[in-house]
């Protein structure tokens, strides 16, 4: 049975106390932002944006060469972008999942899988090394089949993925429901090594502290207003000052890029999340969910969900909303229609939890590109590098993205820079109004496919043929 578009009116009472605030940022540990930059400074490396990408870039740059002077500027505060408001799935995949990797880079997928696992291990090692408390758990993830055609598709994957070094285990209905009990589950594909779960905001704050301890200068409430090449350097203007930098790493994700030509490659897509109040012991027993695995269903419009340290369920996904002209802004972080739909889908999945309330409802922008995986490049005669296009799976991949940016800025040839994935760019999106029209048609087609046992219409098959898509 496909998930309905409209919630039953009685479901909406579960949302009446929900704060429109990102759950992870609503934390007494949230640090006071560093002061804004005033005056003119110069540096070896300037990083713009303090989400995971910017923070890993700063940390890795200092670890590689502690004599390097590194400055990080952030428009608002650390973690305020996608990094402090996501599901907290730290995926090992660098390619937005195994199947997407197989579609685009079959020849290098074994290497990418290994690099992704190494990246996840390195994230874990850094969390231990810098003593970051962020509820990092490696219980894996479980992809759920809620329709019969999905059972067929998922159960063939362990055999296909094994030669690439990807361990996947098919669980039948009974095995799946013994882990988490929903009347919708028909089976599940368990990936024991595929992902860790983290409190993402706490990870950003821990990385910020590690950066400060290593000597990175961080300025918050300091948006970069413009970026210009001036002689042998780059000058970045901010409201009360400017930075002259030998090299610049752009880590601004779905926000308007400072290098304007990049805006054709990404669309900001809003993804929304609900978080419940803490469950009682009997509520937990009613769904039998004892582990800390991350869960997701396998529709085109999918839900992802997980538990929190204080016993809540975070429930997000399904709608991926694009606003004309690549619009971003605080006003788009709340969408009551989407919240109502998410609540309905939550109680369809877990009818045992009827009466449970949501305490937080929020959204954030994802930097979707047409191949769903990051891309890199250099600009301004090699002095500026960028990584973009994580498309909803950047919590883990951002560290890898940061390493590649540093390789590129330092002019190093590495295993990473040799990858086809790193050397190529996604197909750009068309300009408006065609961009909105194409995205709208694709969204509607994906919705129809979910309603009709996954059958893809002519438009989706055309996009498949061209290697293009739209996802969150």
Q: Which residues are at the interface with ligand FAD (CB under 6 A)?
A: 48-54, 73-76, 80-83, 85-89, 91, 223-224, 251-253, 255, 258, 271, 273, 316, 364-366, 390, 392-396, 398
Q: Give the shortest CB-121-to-ligand FAD separation in angstroms.
A: 16
Residue 164 burial by Cβ neighbours in a 10 Å radius (0-12, 13-18, 19+): middle
* Smallest separation, CB 89 to ligand FAD (Å): 3
> How many other CB atoms sit within 10 Å of the CB of residue 329?
9
**Rounded distance, CA 170 to CA 310, Å?**
30
Q: What are phi and psi of 439, to 5 degrees?
A: -65, -40
Smallest distance from ligand FAD to CB 369, Å: 11
Of the pair 343, 460, the CB lying nearest ligand FAD is at 343
Q: Are 167 and 471 in contact (CB under 8 A)?
A: no
Per-residue b/e over 69-86, b at no fewer than 16 CB within 10 Å? bbbbbbbebbbbbbbbbb
Of 62 and 258, the one with the shorter C-beta distance to ligand FAD is 258
Residue 49 vs 377, nearer CB to ligand FAD: 49
Provide the minimum distance between the beta carbon of 281 and ligand FAD in the complex, in angstroms, as a whole number: 27
Shortest distance, CB of residue 166 to ligand FAD, whole angstroms? 17
Which one, 157 or 397, has the nearer CB to ligand FAD?
397
Closest CA to 358 of 270, 279, 271: 279
Pairing of strands 233-238, 226-230: antiparallel
CB of 272 to ligand FAD, least distance (A): 7
Nearer Cβ to ligand FAD, position 283 or 308? 308
Rank residues 90 and 109 by Cβ distance to ligand FAD and give the closer one: 90
| Closest distance of CB 228 from ligand FAD, Å | 14
By beta-carbon proximity to ligand FAD, the closer residue of 176 and 252 is 252
The residue among 182 and 398 lying less far from ligand FAD, judged by its C-beta, is 398
CB of 159 vs ligand FAD, minimal distance in Å: 26
**CA distance linking residue 310 with residue 395, whole number of Å:** 21
Q: Which is nearer to ligand FAD, 185 or 362 (CB)?
A: 362
**Diameter over CA atoms, the chain:** 67
Q: What is d(CA 293, CA 305) in angstroms, rounded to the nearest whole number?
A: 9
Contact 220, 158 (CB under 8 A): no
Q: In the complex, what is the shortest distance from the CB of residue 428 to ligand FAD, in angstroms, rounded to a whole number?
A: 19
Nearer to ligand FAD, 88 or 188 (CB): 88
Of 182 and 373, CB closest to ligand FAD? 373
81/187 with CB nearer ligand FAD: 81
Give the shortest CB-255-to-ligand FAD separation in angstroms.
3
For the CB of residue 415, give the shortest distance to ligand FAD in the complex, in Å: 22
């Amino acid at each position: 049975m496909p998930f309905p578009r409209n919630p039953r009116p009685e479901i909406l009472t579960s949302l009446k106390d929900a704060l429109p605030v990102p759950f992870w940022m609503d934390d007494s540990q949230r640090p006071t932002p560093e002061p804004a930059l005033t005056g003119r400074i110069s540096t070896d490396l300037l990083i713009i944006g303090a989400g995971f990408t910017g923070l890993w870039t700063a940390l890795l740059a200092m670890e590689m060469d502690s004599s390097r002077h590194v400055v990080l500027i952030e428009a608002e505060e650390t973690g305020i972008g996608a990094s402090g408001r996501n599901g907290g799935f730290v995926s090992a995949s660098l390619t937005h999942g195994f199947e997407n990797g197989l579609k685009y880079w079959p020849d290098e997928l074994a290497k990418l899988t290994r690099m992704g696992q190494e990246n996840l291990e390195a994230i874990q090692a850094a969390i231990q090394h810098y003593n970051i408390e962020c509820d990092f758990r490696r219980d894996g993830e479980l992809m759920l089949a809620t329709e019969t055609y999905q059972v067929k598709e998922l159960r063939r994957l362990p055999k296909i993925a094994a030669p690439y070094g990807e361990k996947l285990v098919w669980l039948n209905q009974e095995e799946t429901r013994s882990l988490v009990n929903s009347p919708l589950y028909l089976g599940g594909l368990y990936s024991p090594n595929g992902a860790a779960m983290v409190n993402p905001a706490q990870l950003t704050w821990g990385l910020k502290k590690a950066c400060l301890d290593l000597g990175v200068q961080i300025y918050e409430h300091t948006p970069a207003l413009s970026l210009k090449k001036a002689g042998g350097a780059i000058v970045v203007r901010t409201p009360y000052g400017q930075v002259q930098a030998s090299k610049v790493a752009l880590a601004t994700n779905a926000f308007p890029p400072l290098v304007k030509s990049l805006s054709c490659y990404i669309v900001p897509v809003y993804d929304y999340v609900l978080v419940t109040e803490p469950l009682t012991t009997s509520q937990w027993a009613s769904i039998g969910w004892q582990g800390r695995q991350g869960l997701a269903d396998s529709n085109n419009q999918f839900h992802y969900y997980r538990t929190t340290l204080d016993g809540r369920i975070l429930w997000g996904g399904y709608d991926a909303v694009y606003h004309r002209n690549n619009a971003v802004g605080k006003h788009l972080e709340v969408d009551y229609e989407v919240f109502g739909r998410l609540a309905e889908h939550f109680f369809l999945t877990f009818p045992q939890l009827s009466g449970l309330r949501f305490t937080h409802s929020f959204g954030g922008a994802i930097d979707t590109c047409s191949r769903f995986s990051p891309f890199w490049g250099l600009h301004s005669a090699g002095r500026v590098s960028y990584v973009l296009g994580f498309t909803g799976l950047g919590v883990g991949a951002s560290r890898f993205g940061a390493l590649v940016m540093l390789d590129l800025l330092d002019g190093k040839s590495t295993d990473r820079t040799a990858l086809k994935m790193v050397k190529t760019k996604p197909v750009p999106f068309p300009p408006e109004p065609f961009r909105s029209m194409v995205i709208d048609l694709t969204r509607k087609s994906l919705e129809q496919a979910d309603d009709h046992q996954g059958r893809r219409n002519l438009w989706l098959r055309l996009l498949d043929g061209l290697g293009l898509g739209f996802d969150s």
